[in-house]
Structure 1
Amino acid sequence: MNWLDETMVGFDTETTGVSTERDRIVTAAVITRRGGEVSTRTWLIDPGIPIPEAASAVHGISTSQARAEGVQPPAALEEIATALASALDAGHPVVAFNAQFDLTLLENELARHGLPSLASRLSRGEVRPVIDPLVLDRKMDQYRKGKRKLIDLCTLYSVSVVADDLHAADADVLATLELVHALAAAFPAMRDTPLDSLHDLQADAHHAWAVRFGAWLKSKGTTEDLPEPAWPVARVTAAPSSTTAAPTTAGGETGALF
């Protein structure tokens, strides 16, 4: 028996946009998988700012629905952070597709609402172990051409997804958990690599990719929104504030199936 046969905790968010600094969490899912048993927790949050139409078109949550049915951010964020911290301190990996986005956004949201960071809640003081199928696929098959969104990797590795549930945080988490097993079947060395070593491998792999991709973007004249080399959490920049951030015009989340 190895870590693939033990407990894994999946995490995903749907958001007001694609900025980990400015945008807010609208829905979130934390799914614990123990063998064949699955436990799901989901949240609908009033983000405190308008949800752009482009974002609503992705995840289906409007500003009016979030305000009417969503809980206030501090309560939900505290529950999410507590669930993830409990898993990580128990040695269970948090699994997230493009984990840097969701975990950095969460840390910024916690800071914005004056709550303790996820890292500060952990006995080791850092967010680990994390498993990110996007980073692993880039590392294991780095020269393959084509897109690497969640739906692309699910298709490539024969992971079934339910079309009607695309862009729901819980559906994305379930697909991501299945994708981890599919990747391990394709690259058996994953199965025999201890979690801490696999975490460090991903951190190194993401850093190398971000530096390389950032240099390419700069060569094309791009100087803003360059990839952050730190993984699984990038810089936390949000200052404590409840509702003053301006809404973004870009919608969706980077872990989306499309």
Structure 2
Amino acid sequence: MTSDAPAGSRPWTQCPRATFDLETTGPNPRTARIVTASLILIAPDGEVLRHGEWLADPGVPIPEEAAAVHGITTEHAQEHGAPLKQVVYELASAIGGLFSDGVPIFAFNAVYDFTVLARELRRCEMPDLAPYPVLDPLVFNKKVDKYHKGKRTLSNLTQEYGVELENAHTSAADCLATERLAGAMTRKYPQLDMPAGELHDLQIGWAKEQAADLQAYFDRIGKTSKVNGDWPVQPDSERS
């Protein structure tokens, strides 16, 4: 395939791509508020072309357990953060522009970040995003290494694949490491090296299969939790 082929028909590794990460007030994507965000645009050769970062005042107290993860306290966010509505608008505009240009966006556990953003847009009475194409190394890993031993955290997987991750749980560090992890994973599993749109569509099915497997496990051990297989955005209803 020549480099003159349309971007949508080339494997994602031959195209510009972006990577996105949020740090928030909590683990539930339907209720979490954005605290920091990073969005990085990367050239086909891996060079960082643009790097955007945001710090928001979420308008609510940041729980101590969340601050312990990402290091941003309520006081720091109130003093240095931009109004949340401004951050949501700027971030969604930047992401929407990339999607409009056909640029795929990576996110590790993308369903969390894109669900958080979708809920923030709704609270701010802003238009919804249509997240496409999205690429998620966590979904990749569950597909190509189904019986993986150990936790599938970003920290563990980057270590396993030899990807540098400094300052973990800062949105900027997690953001870049996610794209680098996807590259390392694709070198090991070349079946992932396909056009981003095709890979996005496959991940919808993979995520449902992975959720069904987890649900079956929960049912076997008597755990009553219900697993949501929607991807890359969860619906409003509390099913997970």
Using structure 2 for the length normalisation, give the TM-score.
0.90
Residues 58-93 of structure 1 deviation map (CA, whole Å, 9 limit, x = unaligned): 100000111111111111101111111111111110
State the partner residue of 1:29.
38
Does the Cα contact within 8 Å between 1:21 and 1:237 map onto a contact in 2? no
Q: Considering Cα pairs closer than 8 Å and 6+ residues apart, tell me whether 1 or 2 has the greater RCO.
A: 1
State the partner residue of 2:18.
9
Number of aligned residue pairs: 227
Q: CA RMSD in A?
A: 1.5
Q: Distance in 2 between matches of 1:222 and 1:64?
A: 39
Does the Cα contact within 8 Å between 2:40 and 2:48 map onto a contact in 1? no
State the partner residue of 2:71.
60
Does the Cα contact within 8 Å between 2:155 and 2:168 map onto a contact in 1? no
Residues 23-61 of structure 1 deviation map (CA, whole Å, 9 limit, x = unaligned): 111000011112323311111111111101011011000
**Is 1:131 matched with 2:132?**
no
Contiguous gaps of at least 5 residues in structure 2: 4-10
Q: Distance in 2 between matches of 1:37 and 1:52?
A: 33
How far does residue 5 in structure 1 lie from its aligned partner after superposition? 2.5
State the partner residue of 1:185.
187
State the partner residue of 1:144.
148
- SS of the counterpart of 2:82? coil
Amino acid paired to 1:175: A
Q: Distance in 2 between matches of 1:98 and 1:87?
A: 19
Q: Distance in 1 between matches of 2:55 and 2:152?
A: 27
- SS of the counterpart of 2:229? coil
State the partner residue of 1:20.
29
Amino acid paired to 1:151: S
Does the Cα contact within 8 Å between 2:36 and 2:54 map onto a contact in 1? yes
State the partner residue of 1:220.
221
Does the Cα contact within 8 Å between 1:104 and 1:236 map onto a contact in 2? no
- SS of the counterpart of 1:45? strand
Contiguous gaps of at least 5 residues in structure 1: 120-126, 239-258
- Please show how residues 1-258 of structure 1 align to structure 2 within 5 Å: 1=3, 2-34=11-43, 35=45, 36-119=47-130, 127-162=131-166, 165-191=167-193, 193-224=194-225, 226-236=226-236
Using structure 1 for the length normalisation, give the TM-score.
0.84
